[in-house]
Amino acid sequence: MKSVYVLFVAGRVGRSLRELFWTHLLTAGVMAMTLSVFGGFLMIQGNVGRLVQGWSDQVQVFAYLKDGVDAAAAEAMRSRVAAYPEVKAVRYVSRERAWDEFRKTLGSQSGILEGLEPDVLPASLDVEVRSGHRSREAVLSLARRMAALEGVQEVEYPETWLEKVRLLMIGIEWLKWLLGGFLFLVAFLIVGSTIKLAIVARQDEIEIMQLVGAADGLIKAPFVIEGMIQGLVGAALALALLRGAFSLLTAELLAPFGALVAGRQFAFLGAGECALLVLMGWLLGAAGSMLSVKRHLA
């Protein structure tokens, strides 16, 4: 396209944005709400995924040993368990060490242990499971084999939460696309309606342009560009909204859950996800305006 046409189209877009400023802003606002719902799901999904990954890295199976198992026998058991393919690391925790670690965990509240004997806790083999073997079935299989070892009193392992978390992740994924898809449709139609309004508001101008011999593209391009701008502004507003919500959430609302989430780094959307939101805004604006131009601008 010749540069004079680019300037001409830019001038018409600027004029329309000024004349229908509030209509365009309202549409960008609706677009922002839509994209921020989708972006919100993206952010929740990313953070829950990272949280679960963190928890999964700590999937452990605890084999509590019978009272009569001495350190040498426990060490032999440790070596045997360490050879299992699904075991990443295994650690023997004596009764004394278990007591010390428990006391340290309680910290300033360790006074509640006063009066208890240090050998109240059993010795154990703490097994860290390799990634790729952390499914419910794999952990169950490992736990059964360990339970069958001579000298093992009881085995504890995370039985069902892994499956529940997996279902939760699937749920978030579906909700993201279902709700996001519905809102995208709404935004798409609203962009179309705004462009229709712009077309009706400039019907006289369009007719005159046709009469003086303006090419089709020159007449239609400004409307499509307006839709794209609405989408891009909507995406920018959505990112600002999400950033504000993220800051508020991490600073205020998650504080009471400090113990649960301690040490976890909650993160805002990554560069790729931000780019995805901007791209979706742009595409929604372009598609909505193109459809409207096709329908209402003969």
Partner 1 sequence: MSMIRLHKVSKLYPPDDTGVRDVTFEVEDGEFLFLCGPSGAGKTTLLRLLFRAEPVTEGQVIVSGRNITRLKGDGLAAFRRRLGLVFQDFKLIPRMTALENVALAADVTGVSWRESRRKAFRLLAELGLKDKYGALPPALSGGEQQRVAIARALVNDPELVLADEPTGNLDPEMAEETMRLFARIHRQGTTVLIATHDHRFLQRFDGRVLLMRQGRLAGVHGAVPAVSA
DSSP string for residues in 99-156: HHHHHHHHGGGGGGGTTS-GGGSPPEEEEEEPTTS-SHHHHHHHHHHHHTSTTEEEEE
Q: Which is nearer to partner 1, 7 or 116 (CB)?
A: 7
Q: Which is nearer to partner 1, 2 or 104 (CB)?
A: 2
Query: To the nearest whole angstrom, how small is the minimum distance from the Cβ of residue 201 to partner 1?
Result: 10
Residues within the interface to partner 1 (CB under 8 A) = 2, 4-5, 7-8, 15, 19, 204-205, 207-218
- The token duo for 80 is 């045997």
| Cβ neighbourhood burial of 202 (10 Å; 0-12, 13-18, 19+) | buried
DSSP string for residues in 258-294: HHHHTT-------HHHHHHHHHHHHHHHHHHHHHHHH
Query: To the nearest whole angstrom, how small is the minimum distance from the Cβ of residue 280 to partner 1?
Result: 32
Query: To the nearest whole angstrom, how small is the minimum distance from the Cβ of residue 205 to partner 1?
Result: 5
Q: Which is nearer to partner 1, 89 or 215 (CB)?
A: 215
Q: Which is nearer to partner 1, 271 or 298 (CB)?
A: 298
Query: To the nearest whole angstrom, how small is the minimum distance from the Cβ of residue 10 to partner 1?
Result: 11
In this structure, are residues 42 and 176 in contact, taking their beta carbons and an 8 Å threshold? yes
Query: To the nearest whole angstrom, how small is the minimum distance from the Cβ of residue 4 to partner 1?
Result: 5
Q: 């499956």: which residue's tokens?
A: 163
Ramachandran category for residue 181: left, alpha or beta (phi over 0 → left; psi -120 to 50 → alpha): alpha
Q: Which is nearer to partner 1, 83 or 211 (CB)?
A: 211
